Amino acid sequence: MKVLLPTVLAHYTRGVREVDARGATLAEVFAELDRRFPGLRFRVIDEQGAVRPHIKVFVNRVQERSLDAALAPADEVLVVAALSGG
Amino acid sequence: MPRLLVLAGTRKGLFVLEADRRRAKWRMEGPHFLGQAVHHAVLDPRDRRTLLAAVKAGHLGPTVFRSQDFGRTWEESARPPAFPKAAEGERGDTVDHVFWLTPAHASEPGRWYAGTSPQGLFVSGDAGRHWESVAGFNRHPDRRKWIGDTQDAPPDGATLHSINVDPNNPRHLYIGMSTGGVFESRDGGESWSPLNKGVAADFLPDPDAPYGHDPHCLRVHPLSGDVFQQNHCGIYRLDRVRSRWERIGRAMPIEIGDIGFPLALHPRDPKTMWVFPMDGGTVWPRTPIGGKPAVFRTRDAGASWERQDRGLPPAQGWFTVKRQALVADALKPAGVYFGTTGGEVWASFDEGARWHCLVLHLPQIHSLETALAD
């Protein structure tokens, strides 16, 4: 499936913001991304398994809060990282 | 000729100031990690090569980067500091940012400690590539009581800071927590005890509370092992025989007081140190008293203090110097440096007698560290 990443994560993917990934759930997708781009997962998901505050994950443009959410191969995953503060 | 480095961790990146041993000419390079908060950057004095930086970008997870070539290239930790995953139904902690980095004892090359916000202690045995939770602290049954809850935390989050290793015993560790107090371990981090007797805690109902204090900066002398702290409530020296703190800040001028964030020790003389007092009155402005910045030095372990402000702004100077941002170098005479919330780095090459502004217009400075590099 297609995964769209924010610019703040682009240095993990050598500047590429759209990558293909496999997985039956969001958790599996992030696990695969971390194998290919080490360190990326921890920047998005904390050690307790939760998506970090101010980061949102959308599946087919609908926000998804659970990493156990089932995915289909044709789904599109969008990761958005808010920037705030001075 | 070895180079002198001053590493400035700022709210928006890492900057490296460099001079030769005469300290006459300086140049600055950076920023590294532009836009990302660098709370602390430390060059390993044991190999003079391994450089670690605690980095956090916006709302992304925290991490540690390491360099073996003075920042030309960086490698991210394969396993950054992270709390263990909590059991089902239990509340687990998450590291918000890595706040403090300390190389372990000289006899333990490659071993480092890291302190985080919220208060957690981590160790690396491979020079920062992989970090492990120090279970003796992070899973201590009393840790929750020691650290309080988020209501007790400072605005930028409660931190575990001031990780110090006894130069005479690699397994004897000291830590400071804001809030929580000073704690020590004599078995390499497996067990911990509060070390706060004699320290004031004006914000606690119990004047003899065993923990809950607010040390701002704890330093252990690298040669003698003497222990000092700048606390929210004064400046202290540890009487190691009685394990009791004595308030050496009482000897400060009464109109200045002994409130501040940082404390820096002389590299050779354990009786000499510097503090940067701030206004702790009324609503705690945390600025130089009267807008007149000044460093104060003692040369007798706190029995007396002298004002050192030659070269500093004589008036209308309202910056703050944070707990990690006052340091000394190892040269002779010792150089002393402080970084400000206004992005200035000030230096003295004669142990505080005269000050020079090295750099202007950096982002808010979180930390300074000095290092000698080959």
ω into B179 cis (within 30 of 0): yes
Contacts of B90 in chain A (CB under 8 A): none
Does A68 map to a domain? yes
Does A86 map to a domain? no
Contacts of B77 in chain A (CB under 8 A): 39
Contacts of A67 in chain B (CB under 8 A): none
B162-185 pLDDT, tens per residue?
Answer: 999 999 999 999 999 998 999 999
Q: Which CATH number fits the domain that encloses residue A64?
A: 3.10.20.30
Using the Cβ of B73 and the Cβ atoms of chain A, whether some distance falls under 8 Å is answered with no
Using the Cβ of B25 and the Cβ atoms of chain A, whether some distance falls under 8 Å is answered with no
Token duo for residue B129: 């590539």
Do B116 and B81 contact (CB within 8 A), yes or no?
yes
Spatial CB neighbours of B356, under 8 Å, sequence gap ≥ 6? B311, B346, B347, B348, B349
Does A32 map to a domain? yes
Give the gap in angstroms from C-alpha B153 to the nearest C-alpha of chain A: 19
Q: What is the pLDDT of residue B1?
A: 66
Each domain of chain B, given as residue ranges in start order, spans 3-84+94-373
Q: Which amino acid is at B290?
A: G
Using the Cβ of B94 and the Cβ atoms of chain A, whether some distance falls under 8 Å is answered with yes
Q: Is the pTM of this model over 0.90?
A: yes
| Chain centre to alpha carbon of residue B269 | 19
Low-confidence ranges of chain B (pLDDT < 70): 1
ipTM over 0.85: yes
Using the Cβ of A46 and the Cβ atoms of chain B, whether some distance falls under 8 Å is answered with yes
Q: Is A81 helix (H, G, I), strand (E, B) or coil?
A: strand
A8-47 pLDDT, tens per residue?
Answer: 899 899 999 999 999 999 999 999 999 999 999 999 999 9
CATH pick for B3-84+94-373 out of 3.40.47.10, 2.130.10.10, 3.30.70.890, 1.10.3720.10 = 2.130.10.10
Does A60 map to a domain? yes
Give percent above pLDDT 70 in chain B.
100
Q: Is B267 helix (H, G, I), strand (E, B) or coil?
A: coil
How deeply is A27 buried, as exposed, middle or buried, from its count of CB atoms within 10 A (0-12, 13-18, 19+)? middle
Q: What is the pLDDT of residue B374?
A: 83
Using the Cβ of B272 and the Cβ atoms of chain A, whether some distance falls under 8 Å is answered with no
Q: Which domain holds residue A30?
A: 2-81
Q: What is the pLDDT of residue B281?
A: 86
